[in-house]
Structure 1
């Protein structure tokens, strides 16, 4: 379509044919406006991009012809007033329907002209930069996505705690990608509660991230309890079964009910102003361990495909951390149960001896280790007290500890004196080929003789707490650890009156990074420990007096007293 002579062509009839060819042949939009900003001329390029015939512009303003296109009229009037050219940006939608262009963007320059027969006019030349704007928007979206994925590496999964990891994920998603977000993790242990009906998956609701104005309403979505059950056919269940996201932009009542499986809860979504939902499965090791639910409310735009891809990437990283935390929690529980089984609370073999014990995992890891203790009855009302520490940590050390403990019980049943028990213990350990050494401390309390006989195998010295006499470190002859085959152990006998308490412990109590062990032993000897009262109170005082933050190694303590 081309424009016709005046009024569509406001220039002089003798205007250069080259000028006219340039104006009407250029791909840039060219318009001429009068002082009331009404169109005098539009070139074919503007007709094409606007989708409006040239005659429809004549004598009308842009707002009258294309009401959805915004143009800063005030800037154009300034150009008419002072004659200084100015750049402006026009945005909006036009009548061009195919292909769909959506919101468009132009950059234009306006000049004041004086044309014969027309007087003062305004000429504008503009080019469309919609594709450039879309490119820049896409680039910005890609940068945002990469930034979020990079942030996920440092902000999500900072601890081996499921709850913390889910909160970190939700706080990363809000407000970057959603107005509200929360995760649900598959519950495998029902903790004594009735299991869900057959075919139903139970999720444990995790704390999410929502704005304060939505928090109270959205808290009702999962029901009153800490769990939510997902029947077959629900959107979240479909996500978990397929491993693919579920998107509900500008969701209808029917879609809301696919998410909530409850008309009342669907109404909660409506009241909260949420209009679009995105559910992404948390997949680790090829199986779904939960879902993350995102919502957009109010004036927020619906989710895009880029949003879905970004959330999938974040969910994949978070799922690995959540699965690791869950496996750690399971192994942690199993480890503690194993440690409790191996370190059963010592009994009181004879009425003349009272015993108490503590086992504290280190602050760095909570796993089974090689610390062990025992108390065994001997003939003549005597009691054998045992404290040992297998070198190393973890399940291998725990297995070796169990073997050493059983072996020592067998050797001690022979009735030999403590130094001979250690010699035989060492010999048999070498014969069995145990691949880890252990330190060991034995003490035989004899109430009839008011004494205690002790022998050590590379173990920290015991402590004796006497009423009215304070705390004393009992230095014993040095002996090699058990398992070396060197033997040659010696014993020491000390008086032990009624009311005195003997303390045996592992090196985790006194060893600290950067501190000489002799200094720690001096601190231990300087503690004012209660000689009277319950042994548990004495142990509490001991642990609080020696702790400097979390213990760096496992700590086992065995206390024995003549009541």
Structure 2
């Protein structure tokens, strides 16, 4: 076959043709090309383990092949490379993310860039090919190649910082990103949520901040015992580099510090002692400013053994850009936490204790907000006293979360009280509620379960609008999930509600609940309900103890949704 044939070229014919011209073996020629290439070339398998590195990679990174091959990449770079494997899109990232340990000679003044591309054989992904190149800093920091390396670093930061709306997590992501890329030690301090946010560079007294994150290079572990830990309060002494940074709202870099100068530059005596023990001689303090307001500070430190010249002007510009982007994520997390806290307090205020039942009915209730940092929902419960010793039990769940759901919850609860006062049967109460809610186009749908307790006639009358079935607990018998006719959620305007009756026996407990008690992400609802039905609960004891046992048996440490519980037991006179 002619070597110039396109099909043969696609099969690697060019290598064979070149080998024939040079009088060499094709395999030897390909090996020589990879070994003598002026740029780094590496192969990773599908499990992100190093499988091959050419001599250029070893020379550029300072890591011999035996140190790399077989090792697995850490979480710092795994997420980016997993995306390359998944979608086939080429991505760039700092080489320092791929290495097991930093190479002191290749710090910010000589950054290395890795280009990752999915490697395919016969149309099937088999791994990743990594190209490693140097980006030499030009005398002008606006040089195109230098700017490209900087943008690569900032793009990587955008993927890894601000992945959640939790302040602590965001600050930890920022600290971990800077070490060891830009520093040997990083600390992040923010104004506490209750403190007023200050204008950047407003001057005045130095505020007290709260430490939220610390990251240190491996060689500093065990040498920073005096350093304040996350959760501790921090007050910077006047005149220190950190205090000057907060007062002016501008970065402050101090390099090649003597031990005496380090004492004056460090935030406080304890921090100075920790710095001296670690060999720190360069500090960079950068304000965390978002929307023109100061929310905290990023402190970076380097040791003389890894960076003799300290922080350069380019370092300051790069870290300032990084801090600015990260500060927006931290501020978003602060704002989210504040708004959700308001929603949670609003819901707690609106979700007061249910009304007093008749003396012939014992009652206990619980409300637990979601464990994922105040993801407030619209769960609610109520009891309404009716004539002839009857009590209406209500459990509802407004769809969605946040302030709007809490406000709708309060509105529906008020409607329920009004309609229930007409002394209608449960299925007609649901019909009226559905009609009233559907008239408001902005109202959220809601599920609702009604249980009318009538101890005198010894019966329950139940009706449901898309809600989960109630649990009936009887001593020495398994928990029974009652089969209640279920209509559509309230607010659809479809109606179609029915009701059923059930014997109310002495000592029985009826328990109403919202879906947060049983539902788990990715699990079939039948399995969730079976878990509830399989519990062994103290039916004859105090109802509060019963609810506590229910929550212990079903609630995970971090509940994914709000939980509301209502338990009732009739006192039947003989």
Please state if 1:169 is matched with 2:186.
Answer: no
SS at match of 2:568: strand
Structure 1: stretches of 5+ with no match in the other structure: 1-131, 192-196
Deviation of residue 182 (structure 1)? Answer: 0.8
Q: 1:149 aligns with which of 142, 154, 161?
A: 154
Structure 1 window deviating more from structure 2 (210-219 vs 423-432): it is 210-219
Kindly report which structure 2 residues correspond to 1:175-324, keeping only aligned pairs within 5 A, or say none. Answer: 175-189=180-194, 199-210=205-216, 220=226, 226-230=232-236, 234-251=240-257, 256=262, 259-260=265-266, 269-270=275-276, 272-299=278-305, 300-301=307-308, 302-324=310-332
User: 2:114 corresponds to which residue?
Assistant: none
Deviation of residue 510 (structure 1)? Answer: 4.7
| Cα separation, partners in 2 of 1:158 and 1:438, compared to 1, 3 Å | closer
Kindly report which structure 2 residues correspond to 1:290-369, keeping only aligned pairs within 5 A, or say none. Answer: 290-299=296-305, 300-301=307-308, 302-346=310-354, 348-361=356-369, 366-369=374-377
Q: When the two structures are superposed, what TM-score results if normalisation uses the length of structure 2?
A: 0.64
Deviation of residue 311 (structure 1)? Answer: 1.6
Deviation of residue 222 (structure 1)? Answer: 6.0
**Residue deviations 1:148-184 (CA, integer Å, cap 9, x gap):** 4343233333333222332332232223222222111
- In 2, Cα distance between equivalents of 1:264 and 1:471: 59
SS at match of 1:533: coil
Q: When the two structures are superposed, what TM-score results if normalisation uses the length of structure 1?
A: 0.65
Query: Does structure 2 retain, via aligned residues, the 8 Å contact 1:280–1:311?
Result: yes
* Number of aligned residues: 427
Structure 2: stretches of 5+ with no match in the other structure: 1-134, 197-202
Q: 2:484 aligns with which of 456, 476, 491?
A: 476
| Cα separation, partners in 2 of 1:370 and 1:213, compared to 1, 3 Å | same
Kindly report which structure 2 residues correspond to 1:32-51, keeping only aligned pairs within 5 A, or say none. Answer: none
Deviation of residue 326 (structure 1)? Answer: 1.8
Kindly report which structure 2 residues correspond to 1:375-524, keeping only aligned pairs within 5 A, or say none. Answer: 375-431=383-439, 435-487=443-495, 489-511=497-519, 516-518=524-526, 520-524=528-532
**Residue deviations 1:303-361 (CA, integer Å, cap 9, x gap):** 11122122222212321222122222222322222222222233653333222333345
SS at match of 1:208: strand
SS at match of 1:538: helix
Kindly report which structure 2 residues correspond to 1:27-66, keeping only aligned pairs within 5 A, or say none. Answer: none
Query: Does structure 2 retain, via aligned residues, the 8 Å contact 1:464–1:501?
Result: yes
Deviation of residue 500 (structure 1)? Answer: 0.9
SS at match of 1:250: coil
- In 1, Cα distance between equivalents of 2:544 and 2:532: 17
**Residue deviations 1:124-170 (CA, integer Å, cap 9, x gap):** xxxxxxxx987699999777645543432333333332223323322
Query: Does structure 1 retain, via aligned residues, the 8 Å contact 2:466–2:487?
Result: yes
Kindly report which structure 2 residues correspond to 1:547-562, keeping only aligned pairs within 5 A, or say none. Answer: 553-562=561-570
SS at match of 1:206: strand
Deviation of residue 259 (structure 1)? Answer: 3.7
**Residue deviations 1:473-503 (CA, integer Å, cap 9, x gap):** 2222333433344445433222222221111
Deviation of residue 524 (structure 1)? Answer: 3.7
- In 2, Cα distance between equivalents of 1:175 and 1:543: 44
Query: Does structure 2 retain, via aligned residues, the 8 Å contact 1:167–1:208?
Result: yes
Q: Which has the larger radius of gyration?
A: 1
SS at match of 1:493: strand
- In 1, Cα distance between equivalents of 2:470 and 2:330: 44
Q: CA-atom RMSD, angstroms?
A: 3.9
- In 1, Cα distance between equivalents of 2:228 and 2:547: 45
Query: Does structure 1 retain, via aligned residues, the 8 Å contact 2:377–2:561?
Result: no
Deviation of residue 219 (structure 1)? Answer: 5.6
| Cα separation, partners in 2 of 1:432 and 1:311, compared to 1, 3 Å | closer
Query: Does structure 2 retain, via aligned residues, the 8 Å contact 1:463–1:474?
Result: yes
